[in-house]
Amino acid sequence: MSDLVIRQLSKSFGGVRAVNDVSFAIKRGEFLALIGPNGAGKSTCFNMINGQLQPDSGEIMFEGTPLRGKKPRDIWRLGIGRTFQVAATFNSMTVIENVQMALISHASQVYRLWKPARALHRERALELLAQVGMQDAADRPSRELAYGDVKRVELAIALANEPRLLLMDEPTAGMAPKERNDLIALVKRLVIERGISVLFTEHSMDVVFAFADRIIVLARGKLIADGDARSIRDNPQVQEVYFGTGKTFKAEARS
């Protein structure tokens, strides 16, 4: 059974078809990369799945529930977590409070006015931070963290509602190569441990080819390839849209 099924998804902005009749599916526990050159429609596609944009046509089903027309917060409640391209945490809170906030929301305790929030779900928040290796920074203000650490905290926040699907928009953007590999390795490990499916977009080809179970490629809004690392690498159409020739592409892939 597939966790997420996307059928004939389309979206236009002022006459430009950003996403054009795209269909794909993610199987449970799959680590799926969505790649494509700039302007290919990755982010648009992503934002339609997480509810920030409404598609013009097409269908998005998660475990049999249609997502179209749902708000981001409702989609989250269905068990879909996400991280942002530009990492966003709550700057006026400590690291652990960021995670606690998500746990409080998950437990539907947001409208409570009396009991102090800092006592709620602290244990569980520490556990989550420990999983991403951030337990030592729990009580630091989140605004003081290095960018790579913010990404880790975001991951902990995204895991707070025990999602079955994780959407990650360029999770390693703005990170050094070493950090990138560490973060994706961490995600991969958590995914395997928990049986979560992941859909992520990524610019870094080494990350994609090293970790993704499967890769789909968008170009000018259309899905042009779908397969494992080898078949994508060898796909002439993909090489074409990326670089005209395949040379540099292969060179980078080997690095």
Partner 1 sequence: MNLNAFVFQAVNGLSSASGLFLVAVGLSLIFGVTRIVNIAHGSLYMLGTYIAYSVATKLGGALGFWGGIVLTAILVGILGAIIEVLLLRRIYRAPELFQLLATFALVLVFNDAALWIWGPEDLLGPRAPGLTGSIELLGRRLPTYDIFLIVVGPAVLLLLHMALSKTRFGRLMRAATQDREMVGALGVNQAMLFTGVFALGAMLAGLGGALQIAREPATLTTDLNVIGDAFVVVVVGGMGSITGAYVAAVLIAEVKALCIALGIVDFGLFTVNFSKMTLVAEFLVMAIVLITRPYGLLGREQGAVRSVAEPEEPLRPATTATKIGGLIVLFVLIAMPLIAQGSPYTLVLGIDVLIAILFAASLHFIMGPGGMHSFGHAAYFGLGAYGAALLVKWFAAPMGVALAAAPLVALMGALLFGWFAVRLSGVYLAMLTLAFAQIVWAAVFQWETLTGGSNGVLGVWPSAPFESRPAFYYLTLALAALGVFLIRRFLFAPFGYAMRAGRDSPLRAEAIGLDVKRIHWLAFAIAGCICGVAGGLFAFAKGSISPETIAVSRSIDGLVMVLLGGLQTLSGPIVGASVFAVLQDSVMRSTEYWRALLGGVILLLVLAFPAGIVGGLAKLFARRKAAS
Tell me the C-alpha distance between 72 and 63, whole Å: 17
First to last CA, the chain: 36
Tell me the C-alpha distance between 228 and 35, whole Å: 12
CA neighbor of 55 nearest in space, from 13, 90, 91: 13
What is the closest distance, in whole angstroms, from the C-beta atom of residue 63 to partner 1 in the complex?
A: 17
User: Which residues in this chain contact partner 1 in the complex, by CB under 8 A?
Assistant: 50, 52, 71-73, 76-77, 82, 84, 88-94, 97, 100-102, 104-106, 109-118, 120, 141, 143, 157, 160-161
What is the closest distance, in whole angstroms, from the C-beta atom of residue 194 to partner 1 in the complex?
A: 18
Q: Which is nearer to partner 1, 17 or 118 (CB)?
A: 118
What is the closest distance, in whole angstroms, from the C-beta atom of residue 95 to partner 1 in the complex?
A: 9
Tell me the C-alpha distance between 81 and 176, whole Å: 24
What is the closest distance, in whole angstroms, from the C-beta atom of residue 6 to partner 1 in the complex?
A: 19
Tell me the C-alpha distance between 92 and 140, whole Å: 11
Q: Which is nearer to partner 1, 168 or 208 (CB)?
A: 168
Tell me the C-alpha distance between 152 and 147, whole Å: 9
Rg of the Cα atoms in the chain: 19
Q: Which is nearer to partner 1, 102 or 223 (CB)?
A: 102
CA neighbor of 124 nearest in space, from 93, 99, 154: 99
Q: Which is nearer to partner 1, 41 or 81 (CB)?
A: 81
3-class secondary-structure state, position 215: strand
Q: Which is nearer to partner 1, 77 or 214 (CB)?
A: 77
Are 96 and 129 in contact by the 8 Å Cβ rule? The answer is: yes
Q: Which is nearer to partner 1, 118 or 214 (CB)?
A: 118
Q: Which is nearer to partner 1, 80 or 187 (CB)?
A: 80
CA neighbor of 153 nearest in space, from 173, 133, 167, 168: 133
What is the closest distance, in whole angstroms, from the C-beta atom of residue 160 to partner 1 in the complex?
A: 7
What is the closest distance, in whole angstroms, from the C-beta atom of residue 78 to partner 1 in the complex?
A: 10
What is the closest distance, in whole angstroms, from the C-beta atom of residue 36 to partner 1 in the complex?
A: 23
